[in-house]
C-alpha cells in the first residue's frame, strides 16, 4: 500500500494536503489525434470518397485540374442549405426579414465572441488566460444563393466548432429548427432544387412527382403552383395539382405529414410502383422523375456510404423503366425531368440514351445551355465505360466487348454502343452534370426531356430485368434472414409496434375500417346525414363546394377538403383502375387535400356533432361559408390568445374582454373560428378554438405554429 509521501501521478507529495512541488501545466494535455481509433474512423470516412474519386478518374469525367479540388471537397461536410417557403405564414415577407436581421447580427463582433467557460471551485483547475476566452471565431453568415429569384434559397457554412462555441449560432440553428417544424423553412440540398426550377411549374399545371419521398421537391412544386396563381385566386381555390408518389408506404406517410404543413388542398399522396400508376397516358403537364440511384453524389452527407459502381447496372434497368413511364404519363408538349444524385454515367447518360433510342423523335433533350447561367455545371458526356459487376477494375467500352457468356449480367442499355454521338435533340451534352467542387454542393445529374409526340408502340416493352449482381451465398443468406424476420414480425399481431405504425400513418388511417381510397362524402347515406348535421350547426352557406369533400371510412367523421382538380384526378384514377385487367394493382391513396373536420369523443360533442374543425387550413376554408361560431377579433386579442394554448374561463374577462363577450355566444363543447383581419398585411388569419364544457378555451394550433404566428403578428407589417 502506498503512503501519502509516495509518488502520485508522477508528482511527489511531502505531506497530506501539500501542493505539488512542480506546478501543473496551464492546459490539459491534448488527446493524441493519431491514435489507432482516430485513424480507423478517418479511414472509414474516406473509404467511399476514395472509391468514388478513383472511379471518376477512371471514367475521365473531370479534367486533371479538377481532380485535386474534387477530392478535397469530398471529405468536407455540406453547407447548410434551406429554402424559404413562399407559403411562409400569416405575414408575407416576415421570415425573409428575420433572416436578414440574423445575417446582420451574425456578422457582428458580439455574435462571433465565444461563450465564457463557467467558473469552477476546483483549486486544481488551471486558470485560462483572458485571451483564450475572448478570441472571436470567424463565422460566415447565412446568405441567399445568387441563382434563385426572390432570395428563396439560403445557405451558410456549418462549422461544428462554431456551433459548439458560439451561443449566437446555437440560437440561430434553434430558430431554423422551429421554422422547419412549422413548415416555413425546408432543409434541402441546393442542387436538388434545380429540377423543379427547370420544369417551370405554374398554376393550372397537373404535376407528378414519381419518386417523391421525403418530399422536399414536392413542397417546392406545390409552392410554385400557389405562388403563380392570379391575384384574385385564393390559396384554397388554386387550379392545378401535384400527385406525389412513393413505392414505400411508410415513406409515403412521412411525405404526407410534410406536405400537410403547407395547408394546401391541391395535393394527393399515393403509394404505387412508378410503373403501375393508375393514370391515363398524357395526363400530366410536368413530371419529375428523381429516380432511385446508388447515391455516390451524397458522399459528403453520408461519408460512411458503402458504394460500388457495379450497383449502377441493375439500378439503370429500373431507372430506364421509371423514366419511360414518366414520359408515357406526360402530355404531348409537356416536360419530364430525369435526375439522380449520382455521378455514374451508367445511371445518368446511359439511361437517357436508352430512353431516346426507344422513343425516337417523339422525345428530345431540351437545350438549357442559357438557363441559370449562375449555376456552374459540366455538360453530359457522349461516351463512357462500364465496370464489370464481378471483377472490379475491369472496364468495357461496349457490350460487344463483354464475353458472350457474361452478357446477361451486363445489359446492353448500360453502354453507349455508338448511340450517343447524336446532334440536336438527342445530344447528351445538353444534360447537366453538377460536381461537388464546382459550387460546394453534392453530386447531381439532370436531363430535361420534352415529349413532342406520343411514344411509339412497343417503346416500353422488353426492358431488361435488373441482374442480381450480389448473387453470392452470403447475399442469399442475408435475404433469407430478412424474410424470416419479416414473417416473424407479421406473426406478432397487434401490439405496441402496431400502435406505432398507426401513429406514423396518421394521414393514411382515420379509423379501423379505413380503405385505401377516398370517396365523396355525399356518396353514402351516412355521409349525407353527417354533413346535414354539421352544416346546420355551423350555418354553412349552400354555396359551399360539397363535391370537394372526401372521406375514407364508413363513419364519415374525418372529412377532407380537396381542390376541384384533385377531385377530378381521383375520379380519373378510379376509372383507370376499373378499366384495368383483373389482378392489376388498385389505387392506393395515402392522403388527399387538407383535413377539414376530425372526429372527437362523445363527451366532447354537442348538438349531435361528433366532429371538430381541424387546424388552420380547415378554419381558413370554413370561415368563408360559416355564419355561426365565426367571431371577428382584434390582432392584440389574437396575440394574447396565442401566448398560451389553454385559457381558463375566469381569466378571459380580464385578459381579453372583447373575446370573452363574443365567446359567450358559443355553445360549450364546440369549436369556433376566430378571424383576425387587421394583421397588418391585408391577409386575414383564421384560428380554430375549442370551448370546453366549463367554458375554457383551447387553441387548436400546434405549439410550433402558434409561436411563429404570434411573433409574426407582434411585428405585423411594420417591420417587413
% pLDDT > 70, the chain: 77
CATH 3.30.420.40 fits 190-305+319-379+423-458, yes or no: no
Least-confidence region, from 23-27, 208-212, 444-448: 23-27
Is 212 assigned to a binding site?
yes
Instruction: Give the C-alpha separation, 224 to 205, whole Å.
Output: 10
Q: Is 419 exposed, middle or buried (0-12, 13-18, 19+ CB in 10 A)?
A: middle
67-80 pLDDT per residue, tens: 999 999 998 888 88
151-170 per-residue burial string, b: 16 or more CB within 10 A, e: under 16: ebbbbbbebeebeebbebbe
pLDDT reported for residue 135: 58
Q: How many CB atoms lie within 10 A of CB 117?
A: 10
272-298 pLDDT per residue, tens: 999 989 999 999 999 999 999 999 999
Q: Are 329 and 377 in contact (CB under 8 A)?
A: no
- In order of 405, 468, 477, the CA distances from 472 in angstroms are 18, 9, 9
Is 4 assigned to a binding site?
no
Instruction: Give the C-alpha separation, 445 to 337, whole Å.
Output: 10
pLDDT reported for residue 720: 30
Q: Is 130 exposed, middle or buried (0-12, 13-18, 19+ CB in 10 A)?
A: exposed
674-687 pLDDT per residue, tens: 998 877 666 788 99
Is 213 assigned to a binding site?
yes
pLDDT reported for residue 182: 82
**Interval 196-203 mean pLDDT:** 96
Is 211 assigned to a binding site?
yes
Residues sharing a CB contact under 8 Å with residue 214, sequence separation 6 or more, in sequence order: 251, 254, 255, 258
Is 582 assigned to a binding site?
no
List 674's β-bridge partners, or say none.
Answer: 631, 687
**What amino acid positions are annotated as catalytic residues?**
341
pLDDT reported for residue 664: 85
Among 428-437, 584-593, 651-660, which range has the highest average pLDDT?
A: 428-437
Is 579 assigned to a binding site?
no
Side-chain half-sphere exposure of 397, counting CA atoms within 13 A: 3
530-564 pLDDT per residue, tens: 999 999 999 999 999 999 999 988 878 899 999 99
Q: Is the pLDDT of residue 718 over 80?
A: no
Least-confidence region, from 297-306, 422-431, 526-535, 710-719: 710-719
% pLDDT > 90, the chain: 44
Q: Tell whether the torsion through CA atoms of 86, 90, 96 and 102 is positive or negative.
A: negative
pLDDT reported for residue 224: 93
Instruction: Show the cell assigned to 703.
Output: 405549439
pLDDT reported for residue 231: 66
**pLDDT band per the 50, 70, 90 thresholds, residue 125:** low
pLDDT reported for residue 59: 93
pLDDT reported for residue 102: 87
Q: Are 85 and 262 in contact (CB under 8 A)?
A: yes
Among 116-130, 146-160, 205-219, which range has the highest average pLDDT?
A: 205-219
**Interval 39-57 mean pLDDT:** 78
Q: Give the largest CA-CA distance in the chain.
A: 97
**pLDDT band per the 50, 70, 90 thresholds, residue 323:** very high
68-112 pLDDT per residue, tens: 999 999 988 888 899 988 875 555 677 878 888 888 888 887 777
Query: Which of these, 644, 622, 620, lies nearest to 699 by C-alpha position?
Result: 644
Q: Tell whether the torsion through CA atoms of 51, 54, 59 and 63 is positive or negative.
A: positive
Is 217 assigned to a binding site?
yes
Q: How many CB atoms lie within 10 A of CB 8?
A: 11
pTM score of the predicted model: 0.84
Instruction: Give the C-alpha separation, 243 to 268, whole Å.
Output: 5
Q: What spatial distance separates the first Cα and last Cα of the chain, rounded to whole Å?
A: 74
Is 214 assigned to a binding site?
yes
Range(s) for CATH 3.40.50.150 in the chain?
A: 190-305+319-379+423-458
Q: Is the pLDDT of residue 223 over 70?
A: yes
List 336's β-bridge partners, or say none.
Answer: 287, 449
pLDDT reported for residue 199: 98
Instruction: Give the C-alpha separation, 75 to 42, whole Å.
Output: 10
What residue has cell string 424474410? 483
| Residue 22 DSSP symbol | S
- The size of the chain, in residues, is 720
Q: Are 184 and 177 in contact (CB under 8 A)?
A: no
Q: How many CB atoms lie within 10 A of CB 447?
A: 28
Side-chain half-sphere exposure of 56, counting CA atoms within 13 A: 26
Instruction: Show the cell assigned to 290.
Output: 428523381
158-168 pLDDT per residue, tens: 666 666 677 88
**pLDDT band per the 50, 70, 90 thresholds, residue 464:** confident
Q: Is the pLDDT of residue 36 over 90?
A: no
Amino acid at each position: 500500500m502506498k503512503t501519502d509521501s509516495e509518488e502520485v501521478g508522477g508528482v511527489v507529495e511531502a505531506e497530506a494536503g501539500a501542493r505539488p512541488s512542480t506546478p501543473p501545466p496551464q492546459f490539459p494535455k491534448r488527446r493524441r489525434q493519431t491514435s489507432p481509433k482516430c485513424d480507423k474512423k478517418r479511414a472509414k470516412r474516406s473509404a467511399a470518397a476514395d472509391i468514388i474519386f478513383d472511379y471518376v478518374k477512371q471514367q475521365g469525367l473531370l479534367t486533371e485540374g479538377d481532380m485535386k479540388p474534387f477530392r478535397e471537397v469530398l471529405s468536407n461536410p455540406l453547407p447548410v442549405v434551406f429554402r424559404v417557403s413562399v407559403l411562409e405564414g400569416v405575414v408575407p415577407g416576415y421570415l425573409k426579414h428575420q433572416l436578414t436581421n440574423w445575417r446582420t447580427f451574425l456578422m457582428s463582433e458580439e455574435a462571433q465572441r465565444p461563450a465564457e467557460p463557467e467558473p469552477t471551485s476546483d483549486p486544481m483547475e488551471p486558470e485560462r488566460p483572458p485571451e483564450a476566452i475572448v478570441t472571436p471565431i470567424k463565422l460566415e453568415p447565412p446568405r441567399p444563393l445568387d441563382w434563385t429569384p426572390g432570395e428563396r434559397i439560403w445557405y451558410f457554412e456549418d462549422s461544428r466548432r462554431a456551433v459548439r462555441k458560439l451561443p449566437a449560432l446555437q440560437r440561430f440553428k434553434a430558430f431554423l429548427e422551429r421554422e422547419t417544424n412549422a413548415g416555413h423553412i425546408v432543409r434541402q440540398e441546393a442542387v436538388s432544387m434545380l429540377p423543379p426550377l427547370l420544369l417551370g411549374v405554374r398554376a393550372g399545371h397537373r404535376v407528378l412527382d414519381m419518386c417523391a419521398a421525403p418530399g422536399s421537391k414536392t413542397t417546392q412544386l406545390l409552392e410554385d403552383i400557389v405562388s403563380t396563381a392570379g391575384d384574385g385566386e385564393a390559396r384554397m381555390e388554386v387550379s392545378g395539382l401535384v400527385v406525389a408518389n412513393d413505392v414505400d408506404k411508410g415513406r409515403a406517410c412521412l411525405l404526407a405529414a410534410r406536405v400537410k404543413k403547407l395547408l394546401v388542398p391541391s395535393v394527393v399522396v399515393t403509394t404505387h410502383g412508378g410503373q403501375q400508376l393508375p393514370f391515363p397516358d398524357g395526363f400530366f403537364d410536368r413530371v419529375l422523375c428523381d429516380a432511385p440511384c446508388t447515391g455516390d453524389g451524397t458522399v459528403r452527407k453520408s461519408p460512411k456510404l458503402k458504394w460500388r459502381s457495379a450497383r449502377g447496372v441493375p439500378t439503370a434497368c429500373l431507372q430506364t423503366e421509371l423514366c419511360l413511364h414518366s414520359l408515357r404519363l406526360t402530355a404531348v408538349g409537356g416536360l419530364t425531368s430525369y435526375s439522380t444524385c449520382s455521378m455514374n454515367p451508367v445511371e445518368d447518360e446511359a439511361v437517357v440514351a436508352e430512353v431516346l433510342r426507344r422513343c425516337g423523335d417523339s422525345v428530345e433533350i431540351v437545350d438549357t445551355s442559357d438557363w441559370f447561367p449562375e449555376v456552374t455545371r459540366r455538360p453530359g458526356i457522349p461516351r463512357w465505360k462500364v465496370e464489370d459487376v464481378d471483377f472490379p477494375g475491369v472496364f468495357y467500352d461496349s457490350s460487344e466487348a463483354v464475353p458472350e457468356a457474361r452478357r446477361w449480367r451486363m445489359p446492353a442499355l448500360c453502354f453507349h454502343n455508338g448511340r450517343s454521338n447524336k446532334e440536336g435533340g438527342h445530344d447528351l451534352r445538353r444534360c447537366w452534370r453538377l460536381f461537388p467542387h464546382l459550387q460546394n454542393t453534392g453530386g447531381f445529374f439532370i436531363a430535361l426531356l420534352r415529349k413532342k409526340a406520343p411514344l411509339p408502340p412497343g417503346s416500353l416493352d422488353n426492358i431488361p430485368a435488373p441482374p442480381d449482381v450480389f448473387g453470392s451465398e452470403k447475399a442469399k443468406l442475408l435475404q433469407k434472414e430478412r424474410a424470416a424476420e419479416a414473417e416473424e414480425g407479421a406473426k406478432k399481431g397487434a401490439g405496441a409496434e402496431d400502435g406505432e405504425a398507426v401513429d406514423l400513418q396518421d394521414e393514411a388511417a382515420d379509423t379501423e375500417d379505413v380503405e385505401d381510397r377516398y370517396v365523396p362524402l355525399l356518396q353514402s347515406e351516412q355521409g349525407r346525414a353527417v354533413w346535414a348535421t354539421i352544416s346546420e350547426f355551423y350555418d354553412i352557406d349552400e354555396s359551399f363546394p360539397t363535391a370537394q369533400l372526401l372521406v375514407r371510412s364508413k363513419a364519415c367523421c374525418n372529412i377532407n377538403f380537396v381542390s376541384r382538380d384533385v377531385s377530378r384526378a381521383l375520379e380519373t384514377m378510379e376509372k383507370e383502375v376499373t378499366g384495368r385487367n383483373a389482378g392489376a394493382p388498385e389505387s392506393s391513396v395515402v392522403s388527399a387535400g387538407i383535413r377539414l373536420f376530425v372526429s372527437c369523443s362523445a363527451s366532447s360533442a354537442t348538438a349531435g356533432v361528433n366532429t371538430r374543425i381541424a387546424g388552420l387550413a380547415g378554419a381558413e376554408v370554413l370561415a368563408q361559408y360559416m355564419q355561426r361560431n365565426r367571431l371577428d377579433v382584434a390582432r392584440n386579442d389574437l396575440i394574447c390568445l396565442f401566448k398560451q394554448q389553454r385559457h381558463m374561463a375566469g381569466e378571459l374577462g380580464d385578459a381579453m374582454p372583447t373575446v370573452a363577450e363574443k365567446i359567450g355566444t358559443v355553445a360549450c363543447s364546440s369549436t369556433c373560428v376566430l378571424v383576425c383581419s387587421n394583421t397588418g398585411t391585408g391577409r386575414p388569419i383564421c384560428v380554430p378554438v375549442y370551448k370546453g364544457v366549463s367554458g375554457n378555451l383551447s387553441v387548436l394550433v400546434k405549439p410550433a405554429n402558434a409561436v411563429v404566428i404570434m411573433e409574426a403578428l407582434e411585428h405585423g407589417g411594420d417591420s417587413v
